Structure formats: C-alpha cells, structure tokens
Amino acid sequence: MKTDFEHWLAAQFGETGPFTLFILLMKIGADDAVPLKSSYAHLIGDDMTWAEMRRLLDSAGTAWDGVAFFVGLGHAGGPLVDETARRRLRDVEADVKADPLTLNRGRFFDREGRHLQIDETAA
C-alpha cells in the first residue's frame, strides 16, 4: 500500500514534471514544530518510495519526527539552478521559523509517510 508521501509525489510530478524539493527535518513537540536541518534535491522522477526517502533523511544523522517538503520551479518549469535553490531554501527556513503554519503551504509528513497538518492553537 502506498503512503501519503508516494501519492503526493506522483501527483506533484504529474502536475509539474521535474522540480526542486526543499526539505526541512522537523522536531514535533506538543505545542510546536521546530526545523532541525534542511537541504534541497532536484527530483527528476516520481519512483521514490517512502522507505527510500526515509533512508535518505535518516542519513542526515539527526533524530527527526517529521519532514516538510516545499516545491520550487524555475521560470520555465523544471528544477531551479543551485544558486537560486540555496537562496530559496534559506527563505523557506526563515518563513517556517517565523510562522510554523507555513508548513501547511508545503507537504508535511511524519516518519511513516503520513500527511500532517499544523493547526493554530489558542494562546
């Protein structure tokens, strides 16, 4: 059975073709979600399973509870050039740190590849 991640990846690739994926490993607490590490990758296909992605994420050497993915596309479609991707990754990190609800603009998954959503809490 496919995970939410695998369904999302196939749909995203079907919609845009190759793209740049911004990746934020997250620590999920009772009242917050905090970015731990980040990177980006250029995806040129949709055949990656959640087990393969999780192995890659685990190779970062950081204990994580969730992962946020954001899609980046060049002006003509397709992956971003590396310089632009590095700059946009810093922007994504800053946006998530400033407002964790930003995670809902991307795709947020737990360690099992299940889609998560951040809800606003009352102060």
**Contact indicator for 49, 6 with CB cutoff of 8 Å:** yes
122 within domain boundaries: no
Cα separation of 100 and 87, whole Å?
Answer: 20
Using CA atoms in the order 25, 54, 47, 80, what is the torsion angle rounded to 10 degrees?
20
Cα separation of 19 and 94, whole Å?
Answer: 21
80 within domain boundaries: yes
Its domain, for residue 40, covers 4-116
Output the DSSP codes for 57-96: HHTT-S--SEEEEEEE--TTSSPPPHHHHHHHHHHHHHHH
121 within domain boundaries: no
What would the pLDDT profile of 39-85 be if each residue is shown by its tens digit? 999 999 999 999 999 999 999 999 999 999 999 999 999 999 999 99
What is the predicted pLDDT for the residue at 39? Answer: 98
What predicted TM-score, i.e. pTM, was given to this entire model? Answer: 0.94
Number of domains, the chain:
1
